Amino acid sequence: LTVIAGPAPLRLLWLTLPDPDAMLSIACASRLSLLTPLGDRAAVVVRCPGAAPAKVDRVLDAIADALAASAPPGCSDRVRLGFRIDRLPNRDDVARLTSYSLGVLHLAGHVANDAGIAAWRRAAADAGRSNVVVTVGVGDGHRSGCGMPSLADNLLASPVFLSRSKPDVAPIGLDGLRSLAAHHPGVLALGGLGPLDLQACLDADACGLAVLSSAWQAPIDAWVDACRRLQALAPREAIK
């Protein structure tokens, strides 16, 4: 077994809602402060498909300000800010990577593979962001491990349960999650999940959760408990 040198996999990833205006109204420090105990093992990834660049930047600004406000004074181990990207690096994307000190890149579409990951890692390293965490999505077709990206730090396995964002995709269930986790140590469960599903996903060998609507709508007390349990977990060594 060879230890992979790179950022530690995330334990918890919150995806923003696709509507930028909705996110601007709920991107508050009080909710994001729930992630603070996890430090850089937690992340908020901005995804605004089809939105104008200026509006995307407004959401990034709002989330960045809220994360900064929720961090303890002098803290260097902060919750990561990320961005969903579905293209190869260009000048504007790299500028955004550096200006927001992005700590996560969630790759989608035709760059959600090892070639795309390698291209973005090179761009991030050239921009002084070599410690960026790269995540991609996987699903039922990857159960055998065939075609699964090997260079990603985290894989988002979805949908575990029936999901409003993917209503026409059959859930993989906890058995499917376990199959995917057998091939990568950084699998995060995604799809139809909330903080109360954490233990079931950990029991299926996921290393944590990736969530969308429940990040912003689930009761705060439930997230407090989930974050405490994730914080107590021993780090999983990345192997290949």
Asked which of 4-8, 49-53, 89-93, 216-220 is least confident by mean pLDDT, the reply is: 4-8
Closest C-alpha to 121, from 151, 100, 148? 151
Given this model, what pLDDT does residue 30 score?
Answer: 83
pLDDT greater than 70 at residue 238: no
Given this model, what pLDDT does residue 3 score?
Answer: 35
CA angle 134–221–72, rounded 5-degree value: 60
pLDDT greater than 70 at residue 142: yes
Cβ(100)–Cβ(64) below 8 Å:
yes
What's the rounded mean pLDDT across residues 168-185? 93
Residues, the chain: 240
Given this model, what pLDDT does residue 179 score?
Answer: 94
d(Cα 232, Cα 239) in Å, to the nearest integer? 21
One DSSP character per residue, 90-159 reads -HHHHHHHHHTT--EEEE-GGGSSHHHHHHHHHHHHHTT-TT-EEEEEE-GGGTTSTT--SS-SEEEE--
pLDDT greater than 50 at residue 164: yes
Closest C-alpha to 159, from 146, 148, 172, 149? 172
| pLDDT tens digit sequence for 80-130 | 999 999 999 999 889 999 999 999 999 999 999 999 999 999 999 999 999
Secondary structure letter of residue 238 according to DSSP: P
Q: Is the dihedral of CA 9, 107, 152, 136 positive or negative?
A: positive
Helix (H) or strand (E) holding 190: strand 187-190
Closest C-alpha to 159, from 173, 148, 178, 175? 173
Cβ–Cβ contacts within 10 Å for residue 39, how many? 17
pLDDT greater than 50 at residue 240: no
d(Cα 94, Cα 158) in Å, to the nearest integer? 28
Q: Is the dihedral of CA 232, 9, 179, 14 positive or negative?
A: positive
pLDDT greater than 70 at residue 180: yes
